[in-house]
């Protein structure tokens, strides 16, 4: 019976998470953690939902519980670094990104981690970096409303304030390629991303943009 309940809770949680319905996803990840606390990913995913809801203190508790139960890993340290970054807690972000980097010599994101750590070391005020995230969210909302010109401007401003904001760069590239029919502009975005991350998605996006150029 427990297995069946876990199966449906996971299904409902993941479906809601994909749709960015973080409240609903959090409810079901919470049910999973309550029913079977040692379920892999339960507290980690609760942390992601809470971070999406900007409930940062609760997100920190969930992520740290995941670390306590399962030990440090690239993904767990990265999540806590991202949390500190979005929360405006510079020292916490640096601490967790450094731990992540120590585990990430061969990870595709190692160049991105180096760049973000260098950026954090160079700033005293986290406000512009937090503003970059706000502009990213504004751009995503504008895309949903089919306001592509406003979205493009928001993504450009987000990248200007934080050149390590890969999501803003990727969204800008996708918008230029698929909406504006500007493969050259899209390729410029994807080149910047592939210099920071070896994730296959970004390499594939660059490949598509270059193919559209020719």
Query: Euclidean distance between the first and final Cα of the chain, in Å?
Result: 57
Contact (Cβ atoms closer than 8 angstroms) between residue 13 and residue 44:
no
pLDDT at 2 (0 to 100): 80
In this predicted structure, what is the pLDDT of residue 104? Answer: 84
19-51: pLDDT as tens digits = 999 999 999 999 999 999 989 899 999 999 999
As a whole number of Å, the CA-based R_g of the chain is 18
Domains with residue ranges and CATH for the chain: 1-69 (1.25.40), 72-124 (no CATH), 127-213 (1.25.40.10)
Residues 6+ apart with CB under 8 A from 145: none
Rounded CA gap, 140 and 151, in Å?
7
13 neighbors 45 (Cβ within 8 angstroms): yes
């Amino acid at each position: 019976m427990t297995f069946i309940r876990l199966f449906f809770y996971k299904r409902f949680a993941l479906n809601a998470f994909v749709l960015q319905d973080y409240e609903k996803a959090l409810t079901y990840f919470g049910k999973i953690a309550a029913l079977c606390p040692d379920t892999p990913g339960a507290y980690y995913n609760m942390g992601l939902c809470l971070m999406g809801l900007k409930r940062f203190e609760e997100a920190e508790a969930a992520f740290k519980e995941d670390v306590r139960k399962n030990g440090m890993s690239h993904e767990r340290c990265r999540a806590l670094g991202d949390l500190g970054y979005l929360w405006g807690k510079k020292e916490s972000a640096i601490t967790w990104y450094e731990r992540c980097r120590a585990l990430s010599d061969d990870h595709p994101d190692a160049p991105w981690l180096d760049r973000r750590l260098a950026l954090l070391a160079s700033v005293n005020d986290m406000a512009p970096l937090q503003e970059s995230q706000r502009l990213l969210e504004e751009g995503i909302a504008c895309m949903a409303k089919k306001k592509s010109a406003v979205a493009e401007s928001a993504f450009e401003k987000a990248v200007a304030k934080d050149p390590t904001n890969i999501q803003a760069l990727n969204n800008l590239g996708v918008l230029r390629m698929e909406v504006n029919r500007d493969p050259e502009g899209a390729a410029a975005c994807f080149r910047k991303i592939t210099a920071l991350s070896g994730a296959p998605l970004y390499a594939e996006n660059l490949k598509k943009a270059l193919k559209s150029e020719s």
